Amino acid sequence: MLARAMRRSPMLALVLLVLLACEPMRAPMDATVDAGLDAPVADVRFDTRVDAGCTRVPGELVGERSIESGELPLLSWPGTEGAVALRDHHEPCAPAGRVIVIRELTAWSAQSLWHVAHTAALVAMDDVVVIDLWAADEDAMPMRTERLDSVVARYDELPDAIASDPDEQLGAIAIGGIALPIVVVLDARTLHLERWFTDPRAGEIEDAVRATQARLREQTRPPPFEPELLDGRFTRDRWEILEAMGAPYAPPPSSSNAHADDVAAAALGERLFEDASLSPSEVACSSCHQEPRSFTDARVVGRGVEDVTRNTPTLIDAAGSRWQFWDGRADTLWAQALGPIENEREMASSRLFVAHRVASAYPADYEAIFGALPPLADGARFPAEGAPGDAAWEAMRVADRDAVTRVFTNVGKAIEAYERTLVHTRGRFDRYASGELDALSVAERDGLLAFFQGGCPQCHWGPRLANDAFFAIDMPGVGEGALGDQGRIAAFDTLAASETRAQGAYSDDRTTPDPLDGLDAFPERMRGAFRTPTLRALGDSAPYGHAGTFMTLRSVVEHYARVRRPHTPDPRVIGVRDPHLIGFEDGRIASIVAFLEAL
Ligand code: HEC
Ligand code: HEC
């Protein structure tokens, strides 16, 4: 059966080979340098041989064609200046060796961004057309054509064409999990897929192009390129991604909070953070976010007045994230702080209660930073407790409600100023990344390599080892099915209705572009999706996952190793698993754990 499939379709044969092996396919470079289509099945060809006399015209293709079969049809993708069409690059009569390189990229993956920032070498090659397809934006939302402009600045040199491909069509090629980017090399005369690979190393695309061109021209293959390995392990691309993880770090500016970097605001914020009297039930932020535990609580799910349904995340580096909460239902740190205060299960307080408390305990500190407090002593105008939805609140004058909400949001802004000071300390990993090789043990360095080979830095990158994008990765939550935790998809309505967005009335800078513009819901892929968390402070932040279902780092890494293998699904897993988890052999688990422990 395999032989017949092989004759019919090399891609199908590969699918079968992989299924038979029952192990996920490894990134080609890690397996063998030449895992492209021309390896074991090089002489299997469709009826798209080059027409020697060249009577064909562009757009005339023979045979049944599909991405999976390795014979690309005349696909086209939307670009900012009209469609980017393979028809326009199909040149049946071109001299042998003219190739089209298509790269499938996302703005959330470190390796995609590395290759984009190193496009110049590829573009400089002769007889190569480079087409870049962007599947997703930095939040892992399907790429919208009008957002393509935002990727242009990431290039060192522009390719021949840029288009959006929200369905990640080339993903059909990568069986067993997609480690981005996906790269295909086509013969421009036939649109035959000559080579394909995922997660290429620095120089590997150029090498594949040279080898393909030599083969098409019937010349001898140039000597394969030998990548230089740093610390005997890391190709240049990986080393540069790793250097960026260890780079000195400070949170980016927070323009929606004019007091974000104000020392007095941070001092007030720290006191508010620790003040249990902001809540009638005596719960403080610090009840759950405990400093000695890197601002976590060692519980499966947080407990205030009652248990909540999610695990308490660390606040170390939280100021660096584009979104707050596991589902990103707050877009600023100051707006985030308002949630737990009014949440029934957490602090069960209200903005009126907090405003009165500020007026009695911190009037001078508050007014020195934010200006005069409203006349809260007037009990007729300002009841003791109340928040939107309560009768007492709704009975208040609009201007008085606004004045109280302003005090409340200023409390959030002071807390943000404090939280901005909570950044990770540079440790052994960071010293290693800056070139001090002895800072990590050999086992930890091997683990770091396994971390790359396991596809982890696609999502866990930058100094916080997090891309802040949203993925359904089969980690169980609280509840099952429709009653289960739906994650990001359910955050849309909260965000859209929020009066405390970065673009809203209480923001100090409403000019930042709104990522919700043009949307009326998050797409289905956001069901069961949660934000990639930082991997800093991991040693203190067990248990892990959005619902704290993993007690140890080892169990998290086992999850990643086995997630693609056949298993009985956990009913608490919501959504369709993201295709970018690639899985790996159990042999690498211990090594990756050793590395994570060194972070
Ligand atoms: C009952 C325990 C509890 C209390 C009290 C609490 N938190 Fe949290 N905190 C959590 C949990 C649980 C989450 C995750 C909730 C979610 O994602 O839905 C969280 C999330 C956060 C986040 C987002 C971090 C991230 O990476 O997404 C920040 C910041 C934060 N809390 C700050 C605060 C502040 C400030 C206060 C006080 C105003 C506070 N918390 C009170 C348990 C608590
Ligand atoms: C496609 C993106 C993606 C990839 C690839 C990925 N992760 Fe994650 N990681 C996430 C998301 C999203 C979560 C949170 C998911 C949840 O709780 O539902 C997470 C959670 C974690 C956590 C738990 C952290 C905490 O504080 O709870 C660890 C540890 C972790 N990942 C390590 C890894 C390792 C090791 C790899 C490689 C084997 C990896 N990740 C690959 C996106 C990714």
**Closest listed ligand to the CA of 288:** 1
pLDDT in tens, 414-437: 999 999 999 999 999 999 999 999
Q: What is the pLDDT of residue 59?
A: 85
Q: Name the CA radius of gyration of the chain, rounded.
A: 27
Q: Does residue 310 belong to any structural domain of this protein?
A: yes
Whether 8 and 149 share a structural domain:
yes
pLDDT in tens, 461-500: 999 999 999 999 999 999 999 999 999 999 999 999 999 9
| Domain end among 419, 436, 466 | 419
**pLDDT band at 53; cut points 50, 70, 90:** confident
Q: Does residue 237 belong to any structural domain of this protein?
A: no
Whether 547 and 400 share a structural domain:
no
Q: How many residues comprise the chain?
A: 599
Q: Does residue 503 belong to any structural domain of this protein?
A: no
Q: Does residue 520 belong to any structural domain of this protein?
A: no
> What is the CATH classification number for the domain harbouring 81?
3.40.30.10
Whether 166 and 278 share a structural domain:
no
Whether 211 and 349 share a structural domain:
no
Q: What is the mean pLDDT of residues 571-597?
A: 96
Residue ranges around ligand 2 (CB below 6 Å): 451, 454-456, 458-460, 471, 473, 475, 530, 532-533, 535, 538, 541, 544-546, 553, 556-557, 560, 578, 580-581, 592, 596
Whether 437 and 567 share a structural domain:
yes
Q: Does residue 71 belong to any structural domain of this protein?
A: yes
Whether 49 and 191 share a structural domain:
yes
Q: Which residues have a Cβ under 8 Å from the Cβ of 595 and sit 6 or more positions away?
A: 440, 444, 445, 446, 447, 448, 450, 451
Domain interval for residue 172: 2-227
Whether 308 and 215 share a structural domain:
no
Q: Is 268 in the pocket of ligand 1 (CB under 6 A)?
A: no
| Domain end among 212, 227, 242 | 227
Whether 63 and 100 share a structural domain:
yes
Q: What is the mean pLDDT of residues 582-589?
A: 96
Q: Is the peptide bond before 543 cis (omega within 30 degrees of 0)?
A: yes
- DSSP per-residue string spanning 126-163: TTEEEEEEEEE-TTSPBPPGGGTHHHHTT-SS--SEEE
CA of residue 533 to ligand 2 center, whole Å: 7
- Number of separate domains in the chain: 3
| Domain end among 227, 253, 283 | 227
Whether 295 and 218 share a structural domain:
no
Whether 130 and 66 share a structural domain:
yes
Q: Is 314 in the pocket of ligand 1 (CB under 6 A)?
A: no
Whether 429 and 385 share a structural domain:
no
Q: What is the pLDDT of residue 6?
A: 39
Q: Does residue 412 belong to any structural domain of this protein?
A: yes
Q: Which residues have a Cβ under 8 Å from the Cβ of 321 and sit 6 or more positions away?
A: 464, 466, 468, 531, 534
Distance CA 320, CA 248 (A): 13
**pLDDT band at 3; cut points 50, 70, 90:** very low
Query: 3-state SS string over 574-590?
Result: CCCCCCCCCCCCHHHHH
Q: Does residue 234 belong to any structural domain of this protein?
A: no
Distance CA 18, CA 33 (A): 18
Longest dimension (CA), the chain: 94
**CA 313 to ligand 2: nearest atom:** 26
Distance CA 322, CA 135 (A): 20
Whether 414 and 455 share a structural domain:
no
**Closest listed ligand to the CA of 473:** 2
Q: Does residue 494 belong to any structural domain of this protein?
A: no
> What is the CATH classification number for the domain harbouring 311?
1.10.760.10
